């Protein structure tokens, strides 16, 4: 009886060796995909390695790194925690979990993991650098919180444009009017402003504040859900995330024409952060909003929020190019941005997606009190943060915020509200767009080669009023001046994403 047992044991060992070898091969291929910035393919490769050998901490930690690049911080947190469970001395598990916490704005949790990793590997130079950076960031946040006083009145009421005279030395574009009569925004000024931005120059702070203040008043008058009518012989162009990629925004206008009463646009959130020309993007979009308030529509994204702007560069960029007061005015203005648009009563456009419960109506969205920073749960949070999933039902979000919703959830929502289609943004797509849920859910993303490293195309959608059938245009990225993405973010956030 001994011989068959020996043969069986040898066979089992051979099978294990084969599985381990296949797992390592899958990891090696996934590592190459990661280096090539094919992060979704890397996730799939590491998942195959885990399926073949679920005992290796490195597979989970590597998959966490790919999830981080895809901004799936909830999934990254889970993978990093699994890596630590498998090997409590594996410092990259703590690294990855700290990075995932950073991406979610949970600085104290990130600091805790960096400290735990340092206790395991006290001489690791990269770890010591990250620990020091995180400690500084936490101290900065605590300092700002200690200095912050409750706002007694809106920031806009503290701004006196007359205290910002245009100096004789200013050589940029001028609005029509004068200090005595006041200034007026015109199309000629906006076109000149785009040219000024193109050569990396700013406009005078007086004119920048003027644009933001006027846009703010228009947003204040808008409902949380805006109904947009498109005539039978007219159209509207819907764009997704732009993320501070000003030169790609100019390319959209080159391909599709400038916004006008005859060429309306809807930009679906995430105008700022990541890309380092966010000031130029948001001032351009707001200027067109002021020119054409009924034909230029802007929706709030999850990055139009104070927490995201502190982490991902916009606040730092505004302070560098203008001042703290303007950063505060942007924060206040973002809180007035609408949360959703419905086109011709048939297509709902939101930045993120749908909800963690059934039965939500368009009137429920209209009733949202949106003038606040986005909460961590509820309808407003889910409109800004949720993502579609291929499977039915709902699941925890891969981001750690919002919810993942399936095709049945999409169809039920559309049927209940008499809609044909859901359009959303919020996710990088290789082609710039993706059609999901049997054609009922479309993602559009308009920042090609996102962060100068993803290699994706951008896209926009045109809807004709007569049919409301989506027509897609895809485009590649265009060159921009040598300013890296995340240039105005804290060093610790730049390093997390490879900058």
Number of neighbouring beta carbons within 10 Å of residue 421: 21
8 Å CB contact between 388 and 404: yes
Q: Which two tokens stand for residue 442?
A: 């479309």
> In this predicted structure, what is the pLDDT of residue 315?
96
- Span(s) in the chain for CATH 1.25.40.10: 2-147
Nearest Cα residue to 306 out of 341, 331, 286, 287? 331
Element (H, E) at 416: helix 407-416
> Could you give the maximum distance between any two Cα atoms of the chain, in Å?
105
What values do phi and psi take at 183, rounded to 5? Answer: -110, 155
Its CATH class, for the domain covering 2-147, is: mainly alpha
C-alpha span between 246 and 260 (Å, rounded)? 19
**What's the pTM?**
0.91
Sheet holding 458-464, edge to edge: 296-298, 265-267, 235-239, 458-464, 470-475
C-alpha span between 490 and 365 (Å, rounded)? 35
Ranges assigned E (strand) in 331-389: 340-343, 347-350, 387-388
Nearest Cα residue to 313 out of 494, 82, 84? 494
Handedness of CA 202, 205, 211, 212 (dihedral sign): positive
Q: Residue 294: CB partners within 8 Å, gap ≥ 6? A: 261, 264
Mark 447-482 as b/e (b = at least 16 C-beta within 10 Å).
bbbbbbebbbbbbbbebbeeebebeeebbebeebee
Nearest Cα residue to 251 out of 422, 465, 432? 432
Number of neighbouring beta carbons within 10 Å of residue 150: 4
For domain 155-496, which CATH number applies: 3.40.718.10, 3.60.21.10, 3.20.20.70, 3.10.20.30?
A: 3.60.21.10
What values do phi and psi take at 111, rounded to 5? Answer: -60, -40
Q: For 12-67, give the secondary structure using H, E and C.
A: HHHHHHHHHHHHHHHHHHHHHHHHCCCHHHHHHHHHHHHHHCCCCHHHHHHHHHHH
Regions in the chain scoring below 70 on pLDDT:
1-13, 147-152, 493-499
User: Helix, strand, coil shares of the chain as percentages rounded to 5?
Assistant: 50, 15, 35
C-alpha span between 183 and 173 (Å, rounded)? 12
C-alpha span between 497 and 490 (Å, rounded)? 12
> In this predicted structure, what is the pLDDT of residue 4?
44
How far the first Cα of the chain sits from its last, in Å, is: 62
Give the residue numbers marked as catalytic.
Answer: 303
Element (H, E) at 407: helix 407-416
Task: Tell me the pLDDT tens digit for each residue of 239-274.
Answer: 999 999 999 999 999 999 999 999 999 999 999 999
> In this predicted structure, what is the pLDDT of residue 409?
98
- Span(s) in the chain for CATH 3.60.21.10: 155-496
């Amino acid at each position: 009886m001994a011989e068959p047992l020996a043969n069986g044991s040898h066979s089992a060992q051979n099978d294990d060796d084969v599985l381990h070898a296949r797992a390592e091969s899958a990891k090696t291929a996934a590592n190459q995909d990661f280096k090539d910035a094919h992060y979704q393919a890397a996730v799939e490769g590491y998942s195959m390695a885990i399926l073949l050998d679920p005992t290796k901490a490195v597979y989970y930690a590597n998959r966490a790194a790919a999830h981080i690049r895809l901004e799936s911080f909830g999934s990254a947190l889970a993978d990093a925690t699994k890596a630590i469970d498998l090997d409590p001395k594996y410092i990259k598990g703590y690294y990855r979990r700290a990075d995932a916490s950073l991406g979610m704005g949970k600085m104290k949790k990130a600091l805790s993991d960096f400290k735990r990793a340092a206790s395991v590997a006290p001489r690791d130079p990269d770890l010591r650098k990250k620990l020091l950076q995180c400690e500084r960031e936490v101290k900065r946040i605590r300092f700002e919180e200690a200095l912050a006083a409750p706002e007694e009145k809106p920031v806009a009421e503290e701004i006196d444009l007359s205290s910002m005279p245009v100096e004789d030395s200013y050589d940029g574009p001028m609005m029509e009017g004068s200090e005595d009569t006041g200034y007026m925004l015109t199309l000629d000024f906006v076109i000149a402003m785009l040219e000024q931005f193109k050569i990396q120059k700013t406009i005078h702070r007086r004119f920048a504040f003027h644009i933001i203040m006027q846009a703010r008043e228009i947003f204040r008058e808008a409902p949380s859900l805006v109904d947009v009518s498109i005539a039978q012989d007219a159209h509207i162009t819907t764009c997704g995330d732009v993320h501070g990629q000003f030169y790609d925004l100019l390319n959209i206008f080159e391909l599709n024409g400038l916004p006008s009463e005859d060429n309306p646009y809807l930009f679906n959130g995430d105008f700022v952060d990541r890309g380092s020309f966010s000031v130029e993007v948001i001032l351009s979009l707001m200027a067109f909003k002021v020119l054409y308030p009924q034909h230029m529509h802007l929706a709030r994204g999850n990055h139009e929020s104070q927490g995201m702007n502190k982490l991902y560069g916009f606040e730092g960029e505004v302070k560098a190019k203008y001042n703290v007061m303007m950063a505060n005015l942007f924060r206040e203005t973002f809180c007035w941005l609408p949360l959703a648009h419905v086109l011709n009563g048939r297509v709902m456009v939101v930045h993120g997606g749908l909800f963690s419960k059934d039965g939500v109506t368009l009137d429920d969205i209209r009733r949202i009190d949106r003038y606040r920073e986005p909460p961590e749960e509820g309808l407003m949070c889910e409109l800004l943060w949720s993502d579609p999933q291929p499977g039915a039902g709902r699941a925890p979000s891969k981001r750690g915020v919002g919810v993942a919703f399936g095709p049945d959830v999409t169809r039920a929502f559309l049927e209940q509200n008499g809609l044909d289609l859901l359009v959303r943004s919020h996710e990088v797509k290789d082609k710039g767009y993706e059609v999901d849920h049997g054609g009922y859910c479309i993602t559009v993303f308009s920042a090609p080669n996102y962060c100068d490293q993803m290699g994706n195309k951008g896209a926009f959608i045109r809807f004709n009023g007569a049919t409301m059938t989506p027509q897609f245009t895809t485009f590649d990225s265009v060159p921009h001046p040598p300013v890296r993405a995340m240039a105005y973010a804290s060093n610790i956030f730049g390093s997390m994403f490879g900058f």
